[in-house]
Amino acid sequence: MRQTGLIALAAGCATIVVAMSISHHYVGAKENPQLVRHASFKVVRPALLHKTLAQTGEAAATPIPPFSICSRNVNIASLLPGGAHEDPDVATENAFITLTEQLALQEVAQASSLDLYHKISLLGKTEIYDVNLSPLKNIACATCHVPYTGFRGGTSIFNATTAAQPGGIPITNATPPEPNYRLGPRNPQSYAYAPFAPILHYNATQNSFYGGNFWDMRATGIRLTNPAAEQAQGPPVNPVEMGNIDTACVVWKASQSEYASLITNIWGAQSFAINWPGNVATICATPGPPPANDPLPVHLSTVDRGTSNSTYDHIAMAMASYESSSDVSPFSSKFDAYLAGNASLSAQELNGYELFNGKARCNQCHLSGTAVNTLNTQAAADVGPLFTDFTANNIGLPKNLALPYYCESKPDQFGYTATSLLISIDGRRVRIGSPLEPRFLLKCACSPAGLSGDTVVMATLIRQGLQILYTRQQIADRVAEMGADITRDLNGEKLVMVGVLKGAAPFLADLARAVEVDATFDFVAVSSYGKGQRSSGAVKLIKDLDEPVEGKNVLIVEDILDTGLTLSYLRKIILQHHPKSLRIAALLDKPSRRIEKIDADYVGFSIPNLFVIGYGMDYAERYRNLPDICLMTPDHPE
């Protein structure tokens, strides 16, 4: 899509708005610093792509509560062709795909005049727009990668609800909220500019992995020396995407296609010299995955299997060739012209560009090809001006259990279960969503030591409605920083640390060990909160200081600065003791909740209006001993 004017930069530069004028779209290779490449796409976006959920009458119109499992209840079948509420975007997209394939096939008929590069690239295009490659002849690769949305999913209703686009296989035995179409766990990535990712390798200087295709670098490119081609081999046989039962089915269908002659013309007649079994059509119309005891259901001789495999490689390499072609990954924007010395940026654009490369340091992750010029004082990892560095900083993001994919948890009519939602904790297989014993919950709720990160994230999302907000490591790192700040400010003087019972006890214990001065402890206790998540508003001192603090440096140590009632009250009381100085350290600050005007001198983390537990903080006196700070959702049972 073409974007002119202000570009809000993602990732580390999220809050910076830079005035530049470049055309861009999202690069989806697999990297976190994923943004902007400078293409002038011919946008053929249909007029009617936007429609509210309410208008469909089908999608859930109510807000989606966070962290509840598969809460996006969308009647997918009704939005698809033939459904009661066929979505206009879907119809437009299908028409676009049919037309594009027809035009590409017309070019195939004239392909003998093309050079080899254009032949291969054209072949890739015909494959990508071919719905016949899917078992039910209903989706093409392009269904999830259309040009008018930057080669991602082209159906706004699914972008807005299910995130992932439906695959090719309906589920006829689903009961809501189980989806009635198989669909995957993520929004399709754009493949534009992705083919420029190098083969996965380790860069010792940067201490990071580079390259590979897809967000988790799964397509390394090592086998075919082409990460994009290896990635293209996944979706045709992914049960929640196209759903072929065997890669040989894709090869067989290509052998039946109008572009088969282009394949043999490029790679030779052996491409389809395969003895296909008599039942190949029946098998290939059956959705995958294959049964465990028959992993390659198209039964071929060893040599024929090898031929089929190598033709499948060629099919994928042609797709990758098309993806890297100027149809998909052009270098035709004003910014490209500027880099080539054929255009100049306006004063405003130049300001933005200098900010991007200079003070804002955006180009440390979104490489703009300027790492070695005078605009940038920091050396970037690479200078390829693709606005990405081809690393994979997204790895480890928690699963979003609201996605319908996590409801594909019982066998469909083909016996396939997309997600078992089973996780392994303490050697037990636990089903997400099943009631768990309280003992178990408390232990697992917020990352006990020894569990893997993934398990921990999953476990925290179990029915109990908990999710980690700050891990013990993040807390430790921040407390160490706060300790260093306090040490510096005290300039060698003594300190009395006054903890507010009970919530601040763990924080005080850790902070005290991070402060490198002569410190003593005291404690006060106030009552402010009742037994739930709501404050009574009243603050009352129920335990006073043990020792006088007159003439001393006092630091009030509090878990959360919320409405400010507690700390205002305590500050007033302690000031009556005439300390030499009085400062406040609050691990968490919820500025949006403030009633009394008060700020802490040292704040660990500033958070929105969320109710948190763990690391000393309680809910009705429970959860104080969780080692991480967790979120408690409003629908948590009182």
Which one, 197 or 565, has the nearer CB to ligand IMP?
Answer: 565
- Minimum CB distance to ligand IMP, residue 599 (Å): 12
Of the two residues 128 and 617, which places its CB atom closer to ligand IMP in the complex?
Answer: 617
Contact 589, 478 (CB under 8 A): no
- Residue 235: which of 312, 178, 305 has the closest Cα? 312
Looking at beta carbons only, is 79 or 612 nearer to ligand IMP? Answer: 612
Smallest CA-to-CA distance from 559 within 612, 622, 626 is with 612
> Minimum Å distance from CB 45 to ligand IMP?
44
Q: How far apart are CA 581 and CA 415, in angstroms?
A: 70
Q: How far is the CB of 146 from ligand IMP (least distance, A)?
A: 44
For residue 393, report the phi and psi dihedrals to the nearest 5 degrees.
-80, -5
Nearest to 324 by CA among 236, 194, 511: 194
Distance separating alpha carbons of residues 444 and 475, to the nearest angstrom: 19
Amino acid identity at 560? I
Least distance in angstroms from the C-beta of 627 to ligand IMP: 16
Q: Which is nearer to ligand IMP, 73 or 566 (CB)?
A: 566
**Residue 589 CB, nearest approach to ligand IMP (Å):** 9
3-class DSSP state of 160: helix
Q: Which amino acid is at 72?
A: R
Q: Is residue 559 annotated as part of the catalytic site, yes or no?
A: no
Cβ 211 vs Cβ 194: under 8 Å = no
Task: Report the residue number, 139 or 469, with the smaller CB distance to ligand IMP.
Answer: 469
Distance in Å, CB of 539 to ligand IMP, minimum: 6
Identify the residue whose tokens are 């537990």: 613
Question: Between residues 18 and 469, which has the closer beta carbon with respect to ligand IMP?
Answer: 469
For residues 483-514, one letter each, b for 16 or more C-beta atoms within 10 angstroms of the residue's C-beta and e for the rest, the string is beebbebbeeeebbbbbbeebbbbbbebbbeb
Tell me the sheet residues that pair with 466.
Answer: 632
Residue 339 CB partners (closer than 8 Å, separation 6+): 369, 385
Distance separating alpha carbons of residues 638 and 629, to the nearest angstrom = 19
State the residues that interact with ligand IMP by CB under 6 A.
500, 503, 528-529, 535, 558-567, 611-613, 617-618
Comparing CB distances to ligand IMP, the nearer of 349 and 559 is 559
In 157-312, the DSSP E strands lie at: 166-170, 181-183, 201-203, 208-210
Any residues with CB less than 8 A from the CB of 326 and at least 6 apart, and which? 332
Annotated catalytic residue, options 559, 562, 589, 628: 562
Task: Give yes or no for a cis peptide into 443 (omega within 30° of 0).
Answer: no
- Cβ atoms within 10 Å of 172's Cβ, excluding its own: 10
Rounded to a whole number of angstroms, the minimum distance from the CB of residue 566 to ligand IMP is 3
Please report how close the Cβ of residue 503 comes to ligand IMP at its closest, in angstroms: 4
Between β-strands 581-589 and 602-606, what pairing exists: parallel, antiparallel or unpaired?
parallel
Compute the least distance from the CB of residue 529 to ligand IMP, in Å: 5
- In whole angstroms, what is the distance from residue 353 CA to residue 367 CA? 12
CB of 590 to ligand IMP, least distance (A): 6
CB closer to ligand IMP out of 209 and 605 = 605
Residues 6+ apart with CB under 8 A from 613: 466, 619, 622, 623, 624, 626, 629, 630, 632
* Residue among 197 and 612 whose Cβ is closer to ligand IMP: 612
Is 221:211 a contact under the CB 8 Å cutoff?
yes
Cβ-proximal residues to 439 (8 Å cutoff; 6+ apart), any chain:
none
User: Distance of CA 96 to CAs 93, 142, 156, 569, Å?
Assistant: 5, 10, 15, 67
Nearest to ligand IMP of 86, 522 (CB atom): 522
- Tell me the three-class secondary structure of 33-59, residue by residue: CCCCCCCCCCCCCCCCCCCCHHHHCCC
Q: Which residues are catalytic?
A: 562
